[in-house]
Each structure stands twice: as structure tokens, then as C-alpha cells.
Amino acid sequence: MNNVFKLSFIKKSPRVPFSELKLVKRKDGGFREHPSMFFKRRCLHKFTDMSLQDIAAFLDIEYAVMELFMEAKLAVDPVFAEKLSKGTNFCAATWLEIQRQYDEYIKQL
């Protein structure tokens, strides 16, 4: 029973000084999805047996606004991010960062 918690099989990678790290581009060209895709992938499963109207009501978001967000036709602003954070366990800063990354990606197209 004592040996169960020994994790000797885990190998630690060597420490590399920050100055020696290299910037490596993503294989997908830096593709970023709209924040609604993150919501669908990481949060939607938490709202089982709820319609989009129910989810919007739970998050205190108007149904029409939620519908636009789900269709990737609405950007996340600080107020919307705060409402999303209350029901998803992802802070408003996370939602705003995802939106920022998406906006930067769109500018490069």
C-alpha cells in the first residue's frame, strides 16, 4: 500500500533558462476560434437538459444576445464576460483574453 503513491516513473524535464527559450509557431498557423466555440466545447455540457433560452436566463443574458454569441456574431465585452463567468467557472479575464486572441487572429487574415 505504501508504494502506491511513489511516482518514480515520472521524468522531469531539464530546466531551461528563459533566455534560451525559442519562439515556435503553431502548426495551425495560430488559428483561434470565436469564444462561443470555447463555450460550446468547455461549458455547454454543464447545462444539460436546458434550452438556449434557459441557459440565457440562468446567465442573466437576453436570449437574442445569447443567440448572437452562439452564432459567433457577437464579441465578448467586459459586461458579457462577467455574466459568462458567473455560470461557467471561467473568470471574466479568461473570456476577454479568448476574445482578444480571436480579434488578433482576425486582423491577420
Alpha carbon distance 77, 13 (integer Å): 39
- 35 burial type by CB count under 10 A (0-12 exposed, 13-18 middle, 19+ buried): buried
State yes or no: pLDDT of 80 exceeds 90: yes
Q: Is residue 45 part of a domain?
A: yes
For range 87-98, the mean pLDDT = 95
The domain containing residue 36 runs over which residues? 32-108
**CATH number reported for the structural domain that contains residue 81 in this entry:** 1.10.260.40
**If we measure between CA atoms, which residue out of 65, 75, 80, 70 comes closest to residue 41?**
70
Place of cell 473568470: 91
Helix (H, G, I), strand (E, B) or coil at 44: helix
- What integer pLDDT is reported at residue 8 of this predicted model? 63
- What span, in angstroms and rounded, lies between the C-alpha atoms of 109 and 104? 9
For residue 77, give the C-alpha cell: 465585452
Per-residue pLDDT tens digits for 18-48: 788 776 766 777 789 999 999 999 999 999 8
Total domains in the chain come to 1
